[in-house]
Amino acid sequence: MKFLHTSLTVRSLEASLRFYTEVLGLEFERRRAIPENRAEIAFVRDPESGARIELTYWEGKGTIDAGEQLDHLAFEVPDLDRFLAAARAKGARVAKEPYRLAGGSGRLAFLLDPDDVWIELIERPPASA
């Protein structure tokens, strides 16, 4: 398993992108809408460590209550079905069963940690030869 990123819920994608790039010096990587979730995301990266933050704007979410800023932690797993079976055997709670986003090539699923923090599991497709 490989740690990929931390996702933060933001009130304004533009203001957050300015803060993380101009104030903190992170590098902009990419941005895209996710219509089926009524969300838009953008990734910024620390050029020194490679650590990534996913900034998530939820359309229609006017306020963010204390504790809602952390959206999820993301991990890449080589075999999503195998990982979920092992996690379930250890008592893990699955919040979302495996699915694909429109236009995406990988599969996603979500677990809940003991405090209900969402843990995203991403299975990327095998590299083409």
pLDDT tens digit string along 90-113? Answer: 999 999 999 998 888 899 999 988
For residue 71, what are its two tokens?
A: 């959206």
Question: How many domains is the chain built from?
Answer: 2
Does 81 share its domain with 57?
no
Low-confidence residues in the chain, pLDDT < 70: 115, 128-129
Integer CA distances (angstroms), 4 to 66, 84, 124, 128, in order: 24, 18, 12, 21
Provide the pLDDT for residue 128.
58
Q: 42 with 9, same domain? A: yes
Residues with catalytic function: 120
The domain containing residue 101 runs over which residues?
Answer: 77-129
Spacing of C-alpha 116 from chain mean position = 15
94 shares a domain with 51 = no
CA dihedral of 76, 81, 83, 88, whole degrees rounded to 10? 130
Is 0.85 topped by the overall pTM?
no
